[in-house]
């Protein structure tokens, strides 16, 4: 039977000296007792009997690849005792403080797993924990933090040479609970694998290859634009300078055509743009729109305001190279690129359309709710576009220059 990853001897971090000193003062002056009493009262009044209340919330397991095959593990598990506060747990005769190595070594989970997860805990705590294959070795003791309703465990692990491919990750105790666990693996190339483990399916087998399915490319495209705040800000800048729906359609279409063109060209390997100057140029494109937004609000005119679609097309070519970086870093096999490109681009467009619709819907909502913004607030989006564009331009240019000087 597979057991927990063995990291016996892994004792969580000690309390810092300053914290111990502060605790001593608080204890001596009775402040801590008073706060404890108050928190207990609040917890009891608001909680009453919260046993197993948290089982309706999911646990969360994240593996984030940092250097190759080395992962930072984050395990978050709901704990009813934590929700009541350390004080109540202590008053129940329990403690969640670090314990000795010897005590850890002698403890076992109900599933038979050794020390790591077998900590003294309140009977209210949900008893589940992740299990990795033996070849996935822990590199350091876990650090445990308490939230008001959860425990957070973090520790690094080393996967074997071929990575996590084929590795079986199980959550022990899940079958006996009513909760789910969301597992998210973030690979170094930016790819993300997400799976929900449930009481009926508590095991995740990491796929042998890192290739995402067709839906994966689509999601990747959506995520790329929605998390690429610089692209979104550029689109927002365009939305702020178009006078009507027809011009909006023309501008967004021009931007879409342009970035699709360079995305395809770059992904197929016909052209490439060095990343650092490209990022600086993208920032410059956002900065460029800031003053135009201000001009538009003042009722002035310029070439950009008369023909925003031309600017959208020109800068769209740049942004397309930026989108391409999201796909090209995956290292896709040549045969898979056309499908990946198509779906990735569709994902980008879907994300972009979603963002445009959201901004338009928000504008409509403000009108329906009859919100009257002060002039300063009305100017805020333009200043946000310009200021962030300027900041990123300076930051990225500095990074680029520092890179050259090395």
Partner 1 sequence: MNSRGGAHRTRQRPAPVRFVVSVLATLAFPVLARAHLVNSGLGPFYDGVTHLALSPDELLGIVGLALLAGLGGAAFGRMALFTLPLAWLAGGLLGMTGRITVNLPTATGLALIVIGTLVALDRQVPFAIRPVIVGGFGLVEGLQNGAVAATGALPAGGLLGIAATAFVLVALVAAGAVAIGKQPPWTRIVARVAGSWIAAIGLLMTGWALR
Total residues in contact with partner 1, by rule CB under 8 A: 62
**CB closer to partner 1 out of 257 and 384:** 384
Candidates 300, 336, 339, 354; binder of partner 1 (CB under 8 A) is 300
Stretch that binds partner 1, among 16-24, 48-56, 166-174, 266-274 (CB under 8 A): 48-56
DSSP designation for 174: S
Assess contact for 78 and 149: CB atoms under 8 A: yes
Stretch that binds partner 1, among 35-43, 99-107, 128-136, 168-176 (CB under 8 A): 35-43
- 18 scored as a contact of partner 1 (CB under 8 A): no
Closest CA to 88 of 139, 129, 143, 50: 50
- 43 scored as a contact of partner 1 (CB under 8 A): yes
Taking the complex as a whole, the smallest distance from the CB of residue 101 to partner 1 amounts, in Å, to 25
- 388 scored as a contact of partner 1 (CB under 8 A): yes
- 279 scored as a contact of partner 1 (CB under 8 A): yes
**CB closer to partner 1 out of 50 and 160:** 50
Q: Which two tokens stand for residue 168?
A: 């079986």
C-alpha–C-alpha distance, residues 258 and 130, integer Å: 46
Stretch that binds partner 1, among 122-130, 199-207, 237-245, 394-402 (CB under 8 A): 394-402
Grouping H, G, I as helix, E, B as strand and the rest as coil, residue 210 is coil
Taking the complex as a whole, the smallest distance from the CB of residue 207 to partner 1 amounts, in Å, to 20
Assess contact for 280 and 400: CB atoms under 8 A: yes
106-165 residues in contact with partner 1 (CB under 8 A) are 145-150, 152
Taking the complex as a whole, the smallest distance from the CB of residue 345 to partner 1 amounts, in Å, to 17
Candidates 16, 30, 93, 299; binder of partner 1 (CB under 8 A) is 299
Assess contact for 313 and 254: CB atoms under 8 A: yes
Grouping H, G, I as helix, E, B as strand and the rest as coil, residue 267 is helix
Q: CB count, 10 Å around CB of 114?
A: 18
Taking the complex as a whole, the smallest distance from the CB of residue 266 to partner 1 amounts, in Å, to 18
Assess contact for 174 and 150: CB atoms under 8 A: no
- 368 scored as a contact of partner 1 (CB under 8 A): yes
Grouping H, G, I as helix, E, B as strand and the rest as coil, residue 258 is helix
Taking the complex as a whole, the smallest distance from the CB of residue 38 to partner 1 amounts, in Å, to 8
**Which stretches does DSSP call E strand in 99-224?**
129-131, 137-138, 143-146, 150-158, 168-172, 181-186, 192-197, 203-205
49-78 residues in contact with partner 1 (CB under 8 A) are 49-57, 76
Q: What are phi and psi of 145, to 5 degrees?
A: -120, 150
Class of residue 54 by CB neighbours under 10 A (exposed 0-12, middle 13-18, buried 19+): buried
Assess contact for 59 and 128: CB atoms under 8 A: yes
Closest CA to 206 of 168, 162, 174: 168
Q: Is the dihedral of CA 24, 27, 30, 35 positive or negative?
A: positive
- 48 scored as a contact of partner 1 (CB under 8 A): yes
C-alpha–C-alpha distance, residues 3 and 256, integer Å: 52
Taking the complex as a whole, the smallest distance from the CB of residue 54 to partner 1 amounts, in Å, to 7
**CB closer to partner 1 out of 6 and 149:** 149
**CB closer to partner 1 out of 53 and 342:** 53
Q: Count the helix, strand and coil residues of the chain and give each as a percent rounded to the nearest 5.
A: 55, 15, 30
Q: Which two tokens stand for residue 403?
A: 């890179």
- 308 scored as a contact of partner 1 (CB under 8 A): no
154-to-13, 125, 150 alpha-carbon distances in Å: 11, 18, 13
- 244 scored as a contact of partner 1 (CB under 8 A): no
**CB closer to partner 1 out of 201 and 360:** 360
Stretch that binds partner 1, among 80-88, 110-118, 211-219, 249-257 (CB under 8 A): 80-88
Taking the complex as a whole, the smallest distance from the CB of residue 48 to partner 1 amounts, in Å, to 6
- 398 scored as a contact of partner 1 (CB under 8 A): no
Taking the complex as a whole, the smallest distance from the CB of residue 133 to partner 1 amounts, in Å, to 26
Q: Which two tokens stand for residue 210?
A: 């890192």
Binding site for partner 1 (CB under 8 A): 35, 39, 42-43, 46-57, 76, 83-85, 145-150, 152, 182, 186, 190, 223-224, 227-230, 279, 294, 298-300, 358, 361-362, 364-366, 368-371, 376, 380, 383-384, 387-388, 391-392, 395-396, 399
């Amino acid at each position: 039977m597979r057991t927990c990853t063995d990291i016996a001897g892994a004792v969580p971090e000690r309390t810092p000296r300053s914290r111990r000193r502060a605790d001593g003062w608080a204890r001596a002056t009775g402040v801590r007792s008073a706060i404890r009493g108050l928190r207990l009262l609040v917890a009891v009044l608001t909680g009453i009997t919260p046993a197993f209340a948290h089982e309706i919330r999911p646990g969360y397991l994240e593996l984030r690849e940092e250097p190759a095959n080395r992962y930072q593990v984050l395990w978050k598990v709901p704990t009813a005792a934590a929700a009541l506060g350390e004080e109540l747990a202590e008053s129940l005769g329990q403690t969640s403080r670090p314990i000795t190595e010897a005590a850890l070594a002698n403890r076992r989970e109900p599933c038979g797993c050794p020390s790591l997860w077998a900590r003294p805990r309140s009977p209210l705590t949900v008893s589940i924990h992740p299990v990795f294959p033996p070849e996935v070795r822990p590199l350091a003791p876990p650090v445990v933090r308490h939230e008001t309703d959860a425990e957070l465990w973090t520790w690094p692990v080393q996967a074997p040479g071929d990575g996590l491919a084929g590795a079986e990750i199980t959550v022990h105790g899940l079958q006996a609970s009513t909760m789910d666990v969301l597992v998210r693996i973030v690979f170094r190339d930016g790819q993300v694998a997400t799976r929900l483990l449930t009481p009926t399916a508590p095991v995740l087998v990491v796929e042998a290859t890192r290739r995402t399915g067709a839906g994966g490319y689509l999601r990747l495209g959506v995520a790329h634009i929605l998390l690429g705040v610089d692209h979104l800000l550029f689109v927002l800048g365009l939305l702020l300078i178009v006078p009507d729906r027809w011009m909006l359609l023309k501008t967004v279409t021009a931007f879409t055509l342009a970035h699709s063109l360079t995305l395809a060209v770059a992904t197929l390997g016909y052209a490439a743009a060095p990343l650092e100057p490209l990022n600086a140029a993208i920032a410059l494109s956002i900065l460029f729109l800031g003053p135009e937004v201000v001009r538009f609000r003042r009722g002035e005119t310029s070439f950009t305001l008369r023909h925003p679609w031309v600017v959208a097309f020109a800068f769209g070519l740049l942004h397309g190279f930026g989108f391409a970086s999201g796909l090209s870093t995956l290292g896709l096999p040549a045969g898979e690129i056309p499908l990946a490109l198509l779906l990735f681009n569709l994902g980008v467009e879907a994300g972009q359309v979603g963002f445009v619709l959201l901004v338009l819907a928000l504008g409509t909502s403000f009108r329906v709710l009859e919100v009257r913004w002060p002039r300063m607030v009305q100017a805020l989006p333009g200043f946000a576009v310009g200021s962030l564009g300027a900041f990123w331009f300076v930051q990225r240019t500095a990074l680029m220059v520092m890179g050259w000087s090395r």
